[in-house]
Structure 1
């Protein structure tokens, strides 16, 4: 009897093969919805939950695994506080899957599969609206960011202003006090007789510098500069200073034929020459104030036409040693005080006073190039300068700086007026008001126990003196020892010489 043939079964269509193929074709990418990985059917949470639930066997198990893998229902791990609910160690009903408590039939799983498909459709339908809302929110946030960026400079300026105001009103930073010392405040009395440099605005000082350079660059002024600041002019002035007045009177007729020789000096350059010129002006004005006899008045009237310094330009920031020009503010103040005492009526006109103008940094090289000399730290214009151009430069100074360049010392003016009681002095003028006393506090430190500190200093001085005396005695003793050694060596040398001489004589 022929055995019946076995039926040909396609292994690729069986339930087990379908289950294996489905498990092999599952995607390997994981989502971050849960705490332990993906929310798909083959996630770690579903694998762990299957350990605690009864599993079917045979074909039912294969069909159940196929349906579970195809449905891809999300596994809820509960709240953030119950992250370990997938291990089954918690009894919270919200964190446990529904398939763990009771086994489900195949019909229930098919119903759940249909519900999952419907849920996916609803989620896909609502995705465009959600993405649209997200897009609108992103657009709104970007427009808001653009608006904030557009208003950033103004807000930044306001923040900086507020910060600077708060920093200016805040208390200053106090340094740490060393150990064993305490902070103290010592009063410092400001000197009312000190005259400081005028504070010049940067823009105004640059304007005056350019105006001065343009003035000195004109052809007729260049001829004056060559006459006043040239090498021959310096030699001529030195020879004139050495010559006697009698020789000058004898040669006055010959000099009248040369107008350049008798022309007064209009421009001065150099610290020493300008200092001598201002001192000579002060001495001449004081002689005029104290003149009493007719001969002296006639002599002063004869010298009244001599030029005097009108405005002084100082490159104080370019001078290597500031002490070289530190005397100029006080000197100009003294000159103005003498002029104030000489006036019959008080005036605030700049043309009646000597001005001191501090030029900005880097102006020395420009002035030296304009004057065609090697260095020009200080220059001055006298009253013999062209009146129109001198008035132009004085008007520019008054326009840019006001009366800042007109240095005055009220105490010096009062002293000169009280010392020169002459008919030229108006007694009806009220006395000048003095400056109020200015007292500042200097923060410093001193030892906490001042007596102990003084005692420690005395002890250190005694120890230093004792150490010095000890060193002195040791040095003297060493000198004595060296002298004794030298004396002994000399004695031994003399004894050896005598013995040698005696031996030689005995042999002879």
Structure 2
């Protein structure tokens, strides 16, 4: 019978002994487990786990934690005995227990906390050292914030972009007891608004216009059309003979090339519309006159082709609010009177809003004190006008050529009805789709309270009026009664004097005695 040989295991190398020995310092390099290697799937590791005692309870949990850590594989040597089946480390090579690991973690946390405390104390001492220095300064210096506070309160700088920052919207203040609401309002499909031009494009058009106005021949036209003459010069020119040479007569018949001022430009555009309407409605009459050989030649003034407006520099936008609709009506009449099938957008009237700050530049170029609106007529030199229109078309496209399809359709229908009244007219006016605008307004927070307050105010106002009316009626009655009593008194005295003449003499005597 084979002897019952058990593997003798040193009790000092067990997990319980390692966990109880808390104050013993273990080397950091001792990472070997008392149960051998768990990662290396060798035969020696499995045999060592068989010969080692099996832990129970808390020891089993500790053993599973220690076995989960990575261990180096066990190398089999040439030694005999149990050492060949696995490594049984001594007390010095035993792995760290769970309590020791927790203790090391606590030490690391305490070290970090102490480091933060030292930094906080250092900053506090710096502030304490800086406090006496600040107390020794003047009161104004004491009220000044520190550099760090200035940096903290300083607003962030806007990012550098090509587009200028948009201005903040002007939101009206809401009175007490009311709240802001948005009311939907139907927008008119027949309204004509200003063309929204890009800032870069409007600046390019402005520079092109200033360069054109700086030309010598244009300066002569400006001095002739916009130059202010004194009274003596006007009288001297009027006293001269009316004989004009050929060159001067051609210059006089050309007409104004440049117009300035809101009233003059408005009158010029209205005159162009009136002339075009006369041409449109007198088309049949002119044909009859041509057949009879009686053709009347009417010399019309030069028409307006381009209008430049310093829209953003005017303090009152209502002064130029009529220009978009006026320009649109001019284009509608112009396109309705054209006989060509393909309408060229270049022949229409252009309305160009200039950027902000252009009023002073335009006034300087025109040699005027102020110039918020400028118009170029058809008498302007063709080369310069073509160059300017090409720049406008390149920068803005057809944005500045305001047109309304519904108005053009109505004008064409009117022209066709005047030419052939027998043909029926079918109007199909294309309108813009219905759009809804939001109007910002306010309303009471509590409608019932507002209604009750208004009702109470009406009652109080009615009561005050009734009270005043009653007082006036009573006063009128009292005055009438007093007047009636005075009349009755005078009447009674008169009757008494007529019936008793002696009493009258006695009264006269008494009055004379009193006076003497």
User: Could you tell me the TM-score, scaled by structure 1's length?
Assistant: 0.52
Q: Tell me what 1:281 maps to.
A: 272
3-state SS in 2 of match to 1:380: strand
3-state SS in 1 of match to 2:210: helix
Query: Which deviates further from its counterpart, 219-228 or 381-390?
Result: 219-228
Assess, with a 3 A threshold, how the Cα gap between structure 1 residues 476 and 285 changes in structure 2: closer, same or farther.
same
Take 1:234 and 1:321, find their aligned partners in 2: how far apart are those partners? 33
334, 350, 356: which is aligned to 2:351? 356
369, 372, 396: which is aligned to 1:401? 396
- Conserved 8 A contact 1:289-1:424: no
Take 1:304 and 1:290, find their aligned partners in 2: how far apart are those partners? 18
Alignment of 1:377-416 (within 5 A): 377-416=372-411
Is 1:365 the counterpart of 2:360? The answer is yes
Alignment of 1:105-504 (within 5 A): 186-232=183-229, 258-259=248-249, 260-291=251-282, 292-294=284-286, 302-303=297-298, 306-345=301-340, 347=342, 349-421=344-416, 433-442=430-439, 454=451, 457-474=454-471, 503=511
- Conserved 8 A contact 1:227-1:233: no
Deviations 1:197-237, CA, capped at 9 Å, x for gaps: 11111111111111111211222111111111123599999
- Conserved 8 A contact 1:255-1:262: no
3-state SS in 2 of match to 1:293: helix
The RMSD of aligned alpha carbons is 4.9
Deviations 1:423-455, CA, capped at 9 Å, x for gaps: 699x99996632111124557665688677556
What is the Cα deviation at residue 412 of structure 1? 1.0
3-state SS in 1 of match to 2:399: coil
Alignment of 1:82-101 (within 5 A): none
What is the Cα deviation at residue 295 of structure 1? 7.7
Assess, with a 3 A threshold, how the Cα gap between structure 1 residues 480 and 257 changes in structure 2: closer, same or farther.
farther
Take 2:448 and 2:212, find their aligned partners in 1: how far apart are those partners? 68
What is the Cα deviation at residue 420 of structure 1? 1.6
What is the Cα deviation at residue 194 of structure 1? 0.9
Q: Tell me what 1:242 maps to.
A: none
3-state SS in 2 of match to 1:312: strand
Query: Which deviates further from its counterpart, 431-440 or 385-394?
Result: 431-440
Take 1:330 and 1:262, find their aligned partners in 2: how far apart are those partners? 31
3-state SS in 2 of match to 1:373: coil
- Conserved 8 A contact 1:311-1:380: yes
Take 2:322 and 2:384, find their aligned partners in 1: how far apart are those partners? 28
User: Could you tell me the TM-score, scaled by structure 2's length?
Assistant: 0.51
Equivalenced residue count is 321
Take 1:442 and 1:304, find their aligned partners in 2: how far apart are those partners? 50
Which sections of structure 2, spanning at least 5 residues, go unmatched?
1-155, 162-170, 235-240, 487-506
Take 2:174 and 2:273, find their aligned partners in 1: how far apart are those partners? 52
Take 2:446 and 2:511, find their aligned partners in 1: how far apart are those partners? 81
Take 1:412 and 1:505, find their aligned partners in 2: how far apart are those partners? 102
What is the Cα deviation at residue 351 of structure 1? 2.4
- Conserved 8 A contact 2:410-2:427: no
- Conserved 8 A contact 1:350-1:398: no
What is the Cα deviation at residue 468 of structure 1? 2.4
